[in-house]
Amino acid sequence: MKRWSRRLHRLAVGVLDLPQDVVLEVPRITMIGHLQMYIENHRGVLSFSEKELRLLLTKGQLIVSGEQLVIRAILKEEVLLEGRVSGVKFVDQ
Amino acid sequence: MRNMLKEWIEGHITVTIRGKRFERLINLAVREGIHIWNIVRVQEEVGRLDILISDYFRLRPLLRQTGCRAHVERREGLPFWLIRVRNRAGFAIGIFAFLIGLYMLSSVIWKVDVQGTHMISEYEVKQAAEKVGLKRGAFKMNLKEPMVIQREMLTHLPEASWVGVEIEGTRAIVQVVEKEEGVKKPAQGPKNIVARKKAVIHSIFADSGKTMVKVNQFVNKGQVLISGIIGNEEMQRTSMVSAGGKVKGEVWYVSNVSVPLKQTRYIYTGASVNHQYLIAGDYAVHLWPFKAEVYKKAETSERRIQPSLFGITSPLGWKTETIHEMSPQVKSVTRDEATDTARKFAQQDILKRAGKDATIKEEKVLHVKEENGKVTLSIHYAVIEDIAMEQPIVNIPAPDKPDATKSN
């Protein structure tokens, strides 16, 4: 059953030309240089310090590393991060 | 995403949170719909975040749940500002008192300006203004409409024909237009109207006084036409007035005019010569032509070029003199034409002698004589003209002898 639904999603993305983040529940990340980062579709904060932000995703984790990180705003599915971002890493479970 | 104005009005605080499960707190708060921002991890186990005051009370159960402790670091926004104002009540009252004072002072008339007075004194206008409430220190709110003030001031200022009131800030401008003083007739003593010339009365209208003559009556020079003594003479109840009125009479004139039958007129021949002069100061130096024809009869016109600036005329200039030659032309006229010319001259002469408002009623050529190349006419005119003349009653006659003035 799950396999079928995933196939259907893939098909929708291919045929209907929908953005992948809408269908596949993956994060959409917008970065402005290394200064600002806007992450949608996260599932919660795992850890946060000045040097690292770990976000839980539907599948896996997102690790943002940098310096002087500040969460300017946070909503249920969105995070606005500021600071000097040096790396973004996806980690599977 | 953030509404700064809402944050400021509702008031927000910066909270330092001490606890191991800081991230868990954030997740819970976000799930609860609590608005938090500017999240920083200061140290291990110490975080800081901004939150609205109203949300802070919703955060407290979550703190207990996650075992964190909060400490308010900074307070910002309108509620805290109001508290600060309350703490410095004197200062706040001072500001309000100043604003109210400024408003009050600006709603008071500080100056009354009077414009356009020449005959009426400014003081008089100001007093009139004071009577209707327009004075220094009066509240603008208590004043009536400018139009009403104008009308009321006008009743207090009989010498003015119009009063305009305009309030400009704290200044009231009163503009006065004064009445033009009419030409007053000089005070007149008792007088008669007498005839200026021998005439036959054509019309007589008395403004004041008693008419003594009738239309078509012949009057001599100096005869009383309108008497200044009125009243019943038999009853011996008379009074004297300044007689006035219009009396027109028919006056006869005889005019003798002679017109020559041959007249000489000068006309331009068309020949002319230009003389150039250089002006230096008061002198004009003749430059050319050196030798010019001299005309027997000529007319001269000149043109000057002399630059001037700001009222200062330069001493140097140029003058061009044009001399036009004229030649005599003898024109002989017929006897009839000469007569016509003579009559025109005679009419002008008569009207000059009769004074203004005179009209020629009748014209009669008495005699035409032609001798020595001249036509001499003698014309009789009957002219209707004003014959009234004022004569003061100097010797006040006793009421029992009213004839004293009549025989004048």
From CA A93, how far away is CA A78, in angstroms rounded? 21
Q: CB-based contact (8 Å) between B48 and chain A?
A: no
Superfamily per CATH, domain B111-178: membrane protein fhac (3.10.20.310)
Contacting residues of A for B38, CB less than 8 Å apart:
70-72
Q: B4-82 sits in which CATH class?
A: alpha beta
**Amino acid B13: pLDDT:** 94
- Preferred mutation among B2, B3, B14, B27 to probe A, highest tally of A CBs within 10 A: B27
What mean pLDDT is predicted for residues B376-383?
89
Q: Where are the domains of chain B?
A: 4-82, 111-178, 256-261+333-384, 267-328
In this predicted complex, what is the ipTM?
0.82
CB pair distance less than 8 Å for B30 and A74: yes
Q: CB-based contact (8 Å) between B334 and chain A?
A: no
Asked if pLDDT for residue B282 goes beyond 90, the answer is no
| Dihedral angle sign, alpha carbons of residues B81, B86, B90, B92 | positive
CATH fold for the domain made of A26-91: Immunoglobulin-like (2.60.40)
For the segment B82-134, what is each residue's pLDDT rounded down to a tens digit?
Answer: 998 889 989 989 999 999 999 989 988 898 899 888 888 888 888 888 888 88
For the segment B134-163, what is each residue's pLDDT rounded down to a tens digit?
Answer: 888 888 888 888 888 888 888 888 888 888
From CA B187, how far away is CA B206, in angstroms rounded? 19
Q: Considering only alpha carbons, which residue of chain B is nearest residue A52?
A: B41
From CA B97, how far away is CA B92, in angstroms rounded? 9
Contact B56, B15 (CB under 8 A): yes
CA neighbours closer than 13 Å in the CB half-sphere of residue B209:
30
Contacting residues of A for B47, CB less than 8 Å apart:
48
Q: What is the pTM of this model?
A: 0.42
Our measurement of the distance from residue B256's CA atom to the centroid of its chain's CA atoms, rounded to an integer in Å, reads: 53
Q: What angle do CA B201, B204, B209 make, to 5 degrees?
A: 125
For the segment B202-250, what is each residue's pLDDT rounded down to a tens digit?
Answer: 899 888 888 888 889 999 988 888 888 887 777 777 788 888 888 889 9
